[in-house]
Amino acid sequence: NFTIILFHYDGNVDGWWDLEWSKNAAHIVAQNQTKWWFAKRFLHPAVVSIYDYIFLWDEDLGVDNFHPGRYLKIVKSEGLEISQPALDPNSTGIHHRITVRLRTNKLHRRVWEVRGSTKCSEESEGPPCTGFVEGMAPVFSRSAWYCAWHLIQNDLVHGWGMDMKLGYCAQGDRTKKVGVVDSEYVVHQGIQTLGGASARKASSPEESMKKHTVDMRAEIRRQSTSELQIFKRRWEQAVKEDKNWADPFWKKRRRNRRRNQRLHI
Task: Characterise 217 by phi-psi region: left (phi > 0), alpha (psi -120 to 50), beta (else).
Answer: alpha
The count of other CB atoms within 10 Å of the CB of residue 259 is: 11
> Which residues are within 8 A (CB) of 94 and not within 5 positions of it... i.e. 6 or more apart?
87, 100, 188
Q: pLDDT at position 41, please? A: 96
141 vs 48: CA distance, rounded Å: 11
Segment 170-181, tens digit of pLDDT: 999 999 999 999
Report the pLDDT averaged over residues 50-77. Answer: 96
Q: pLDDT at position 212, please? A: 47
Q: pLDDT at position 253, please? A: 59
59 vs 132: CA distance, rounded Å: 21
Instruction: Find out whether the peptide bond into 128 is cis, omega within 30 degrees of 0.
Output: yes
Tell me which residue of 155, 173, 157, 162 sits closest to 135, measured CA to CA. 162
At 220, is the pLDDT very low, low, confident or very high (cuts 50, 70, 90)? confident
Please report the sign of the dihedral spanned by the C-alpha atoms of residue 82, residue 111, residue 172, residue 253: negative
Report the pLDDT averaged over residues 60-88. Answer: 97
Instruction: Please indicate whether residue 217 or residue 90 has the higher confidence score (pLDDT).
Output: 90
Q: In this model, does residue 197 exceed pLDDT 50?
A: no
